[in-house]
Amino acid sequence: MPIINNLREIYLSLNFRFIPNFRKEIEHAVGHCKNLLDIGCGSNSPIRYFSKKPYCVGVDAFEPSIKKSMAKKIHDEYFLTDILEIDKKIEPNSFECVIALDVIEHFTKKEGYLILDIMEKIASKKIIVFTPNGFVPQGVYDENPWQVHKSGWTVEEMRKRGYKVIGINGWKFLKGEFGAPRFKPKLLWFFVGEFTQLFVRNRPEQAFHLLSIKQK
């Protein structure tokens, strides 16, 4: 989806103040935390765009993604390891903030709950999870088998675990796989979808993505 990704980059670079986007929302959610563990960091974590980054550690199981991220100097330190076993290497309450952005949907439901348990164990102050609203099909992407979607997550599920949930990336109805517009012309519907963010932020059940935040 290079065209859609390029459009999204251009749109986000315009930095519209009256339309909250996911980069701004994630940075605001992290707040004043002094250190951060980025689980499933991938090759292009949004934290690279923070105006002021805390000390960041990236974790991923796919070595090519780690290498790309290292080349961009997104994190201060990296772990190449299975996400489901990071609690064996990292002590409880050792990071003020632990985030998982577009991660838990790549695991089965049982594994996803385990990841949430691990995050809540490692974080001393805040846990942040970014995931599609419900199940959104997705296959292998960028030669990375970890990109396949295996589960979907709902507002109700996250709230039951004590998370505050914010709607992100516009009205779900308008978007398909990879968040690309469902309708043509794609350019028009891309911008229509982005502007619907104004309406879904406080109505997460209608949004394409969910940003879930838990304070400890």
pLDDT in single tens digits along all 216 residues of the chain: 455 556 666 555 555 555 668 888 999 999 999 999 999 999 999 999 999 999 999 999 999 999 999 999 999 999 999 999 999 999 999 999 999 999 999 999 999 999 999 999 999 999 999 999 999 887 766 666 767 899 999 999 999 999 999 999 999 999 987 788 899 998 888 888 888 999 999 999 999 999 999 999
- Write out the E strands in the chain: 35-39, 55-60, 77-80, 95-101, 123-132, 164-171, 207-215
Question: Which CATH code, of 3.30.460.10, 3.40.50.150, 3.30.2020.30, 3.60.110.10, is assigned to 2-168+209-215?
Answer: 3.40.50.150
What 3-state DSSP class applies to 206? Answer: helix
pLDDT in tens, 95-143: 999 999 999 999 999 999 999 999 999 999 999 999 999 998 877 666 6
Round to whole Å and give the CA distance between 28 and 189. 27
User: In this predicted structure, what is the pLDDT of residue 184?
Assistant: 92
Distance of CA 39 to the CA centre of its chain: 10
Peptide bond into 92 cis (omega under 30): no
Query: How many other C-beta atoms are found inside a 10 Å radius of the C-beta of residue 118?
Result: 21
